[in-house]
Structure 1
Amino acid sequence: MYSSILSNCSTSTCRICLNKTKEDALNIFNDHEESKEVLSKIYSCFQIKLNSEKNLPNVMCKNCIDELNVAYNFRLKCLTFEERYVDSLKEMKAETEDGDNFDNKTEVHKSEDVPINAIEDNYNIYDHDITSDDTIKIKSETEHNELFNVPLSDAPNKFQCSICHKVLRSKVSLAKHDVCMHQKRKHAGRVTGSGASRLYHCTKCPYHTPHSQTLVNHMHRHDGVRPYQCVCGKSFTQSSSLAAHRKIHSLTTFYTCSTCGKQFKHAFSLKKHLLVHEKGNFNCEICHKTLKTKKSLQDHMHRHYNIRNYNCEDCGDTFVTSSELQSHRLKHSLEKKVECHLCGYRTNTKKSLIVHLKRHTGNKSFKCGSCDLSFYTGGDLRRHRRVHSREKPYPCPACAARFTHSSSLNKHVLNLHHVQYRWADFHPRDGRKIQNK
């Protein structure tokens, strides 16, 4: 019974309005030209493609077809606006010229006291003389185009910028473009496309953008111009970079991690921090360690191959990451800006202050699994574990002795071999690798 109802609806119900159809309804899925035209209009106007499906109506009533034709005709009006507008301007031009010619002929005949009927008889002669004059014709076209800001049909690039070759629609737009882009912003990029597909290309690198102001900011990097300056002395190429930098001087935190409660001043800092709480998806092929970001994996591989791209200008020490270099530079700073609010202890780094505050609170969160001891930092715990494993990774360079800690090795070389020796000075990579295990 249900299938019979659906089969009746497929031929007696309109596919669009669902009203009952009459005999004049059109089957829109047959091979007739009228049906194909209806489907084409629906897709052109609304980007909807109707398909013939089982148990669905396949006819369209006359009212819906009339509404579709109205929408389609309106779409054609929008698409052909420019052509129709140019035609209307040409008609206005012709009417203006006809009126001017008639006034001129009337004045000429009045000055010569010629009868009105003679004016009508000789109208075609004067009209022919005026329109055949090339000078007057060109002048009238030029005045018309300057009046309506429409380029000549035989010169589509009349309003083209000589610097970036962008084509403008009018003389006023060209003058405004020259002032805003090349005089005020000093923009010298190359422009391609038009409308939504317009792109502004950098002339010194492959960079391109759909926004002209973005290219202006980009060009500052090539020119070395940093117009946005902070009170602390730092300058930037973009105003957004300066706004982000100013948050560093503020004590207010704008973003908080919902997992651990840690607060940040920048959104990108919070986004980078959230990766700490995610499960790692990048595996090292050498040691099979799992890392959480592609950048972390790249830095990890640099440690395996001893690639150190960051070096300190003061002491020449090298580092794998820029954050390690920044932390190291604080050691050379004589001014200790970070201060403990409980005892007045001052240090160079915020990390050292966090470890110091743990000693006030007694928070030893790193516990040994082999004994009951606990420690303030992970480095202290790793060094303690060597007591249980009896690992001695620090060999003496002068004899066969080996030691659990580098400080023990340094004392051994000084007391037994009478030489000032520091393991970190000769094996910086190995020393850090042991700490990171």
Structure 2
Amino acid sequence: MAPAVAGTDYWGVMIRVPQFPRGTELKKRQGALTSIWELTLSERQNASKLLESSTATPFLYCRYYFKCFYCGEQYSEIKTVLQHTVTHTTPESSIILKEYLPKGKRTVKVDISSLKCRICDKKLKDLDEARKHLTSEHDKVFTESGNGIVAYDLTSKNGQFNCHICNKVFQTFILLNRHMNVHFSNAVCETCGAGFMTHQRLMQHKEIHLPGGYPCNKCSKVYTTNSNLKFHIEKAHEGSTKMRMLRCPHCPERFVEHFKKLKHLREAHGITFSFECEATTRCLKQVYGN
């Protein structure tokens, strides 16, 4: 194996670059086993076969709301978008690959809480077991690449979600989704050492280390990240939060901000949550926001 030297890519991410002697004839590069910028063709092929032959339910997460993987309809709650998605007839893998997993697709998120084989109805534990089952029992052919899918068990217990890998409990999908970086740290921030599943998430995170702010051109407010500025513009100036209201799981009340939902749960329903700080492992009774 050729020796490697450490360096950084365009975005400042640490990489290792192999060094070959001059005149070395390089073999044509094979498809990557894993991808952090976008899914490779072989990953997209594997993902399309798993979506076609299993009950893994795909969805799109847009930070403040959810979208149906097949028709793009928007929902404020993960539960309702999943209920809607299963009403669609699952297309064949060739159609999924062409229309729903085009080149440039970064990740595919799926719910595996009711994972079964569509062919024989056998219950399956996870996507790896589904892949082995489809290969051995139904002669499905997968490439050597990864599944191209990020899986979540979105069974809700008292409005909370469990990580199916380590069983930690999270009060919202937002927190569960952020936690998944712990298990799939493909890209690491060189400033603070935080790990992320994809470069896209790393780029969003690196905004917090940049100097200066993001001023709103419609009012005098300034925000620390571009993402927060976009949310402010939608909320305060464009009025497009109707589909993105957070719903109380115990009554009809809805909220624009997550903190107000937590406050309502505590005051109206007597429900409080504890949060573990990943830096100090301290258990906090409540997390407050501005």
Using CA pairs below 8 Å that are at least 6 residues apart, which structure has the higher relative contact order? 2
More helix by share: 1
Q: TM-score range with shorter-chain normalisation?
A: 0.3 to 0.5
Q: TM-score, normalised by structure 1?
A: 0.24
TM-score by length of 2: 0.34
Bigger proportion of residues as strand: 2
Which has the greater radius of gyration? 1
